[in-house]
Each structure stands twice: as structure tokens, then as C-alpha cells.
Amino acid sequence: MAAVMKKYITADELKNHDKAGDLWISIQGKGYDVSDWVKDHPGGNFPIMSLACQEVTDAFVAFHPASTWKILHQFFTGYYLKDYHVSEVSKDYRKLVHEFSKMGLFEKKGHIEFVTL
């Protein structure tokens, strides 16, 4: 059986997908086409537009509940980011988020309610 060839995009090529209508981002080294999604994004279009055509894993981790990972696949382009590299700082950050999640610290969303006396 022939081996399935992975398709790659370079960071420079990713930069071509930087505008409304042709908008890609990379999360954990996988290219996602968010051209249509940006209009429906619950966080609005600004956060995605400002990180257009970049590797955005840490921002994605910072702003989303774990359930969001489950809807990502529908935007996958089939392309993997060439030379995807995770910095030591990002590794530490992701490890920390993982540990905090296991402790249940991210289960509730929202702000502390102020009690009027």
C-alpha cells in the first residue's frame, strides 16, 4: 500500500492567506482555513483577523474552552506547517494550561459576580 504523503505549507506560503476571503491560521502546526468561519466566530472577527496567517496555538489555548478543539477539524486544509517548532516558553505554557485544566480550574466561565449589599 502506498504511503500517504503529508502535504506541507511553509510559513512564507501561509502569509499569502492573510485577508478576508482567503484567511488561514495554523494551530499545532496544522493549517486551518477560517475564511468563512471568521464571520460566525463567537469571539468576533477581530481576534482572528489580527492573527491572520500566523501560528496561533497559544492564543487559541488561552481563549477557548477544551470543547473548541472538537470543532477544529472541519477547517483543516490538509496542509501541515513545514518546520513547525514549539518554543520552550510555549511548551511550558501549554503544560501549565494542561495541568490547570486537569485541576478543573477552567470549568466555569465568566466573571465573579459582585454582590450588592
The grid coordinates of residue 77 equal 486544509
Per-residue x/- track, 18-57, ligand HEM (CB under 6 A): -------x------x-x--x---xxx---xx--x----x-
What residue is closest to ligand HEM based on CB?
A: 43
Counting residues that bind ligand HEM (by CB under 6 A) gives 21
Residue 68 binds ligand HEM, judged by CB under 6 A: yes
Per-residue x/- track, 78-107, ligand HEM (CB under 6 A): ------------------------------
65-66-68 Cα angle (round to 5): 75
Secondary structure, 3-state, the chain = CCCCCCEEECHHHHCCCEECCEEEEEECCEEEECCCHHHHCCCCCHHHHHCCCCECHHHHHHHCCHHHHHHHHHHEEEEEECCCCCCHHHHHHHHHHHHHHHCCCCCCCCCCCCCCC
Question: By C-beta, is 75 or 84 nearer to ligand HEM?
Answer: 75
Judged by the rule CB under 6 A, the positions of this chain that interact with ligand HEM are 25, 32, 34, 37, 41-43, 47-48, 51, 56, 59-60, 63-65, 68, 71-72, 75, 109
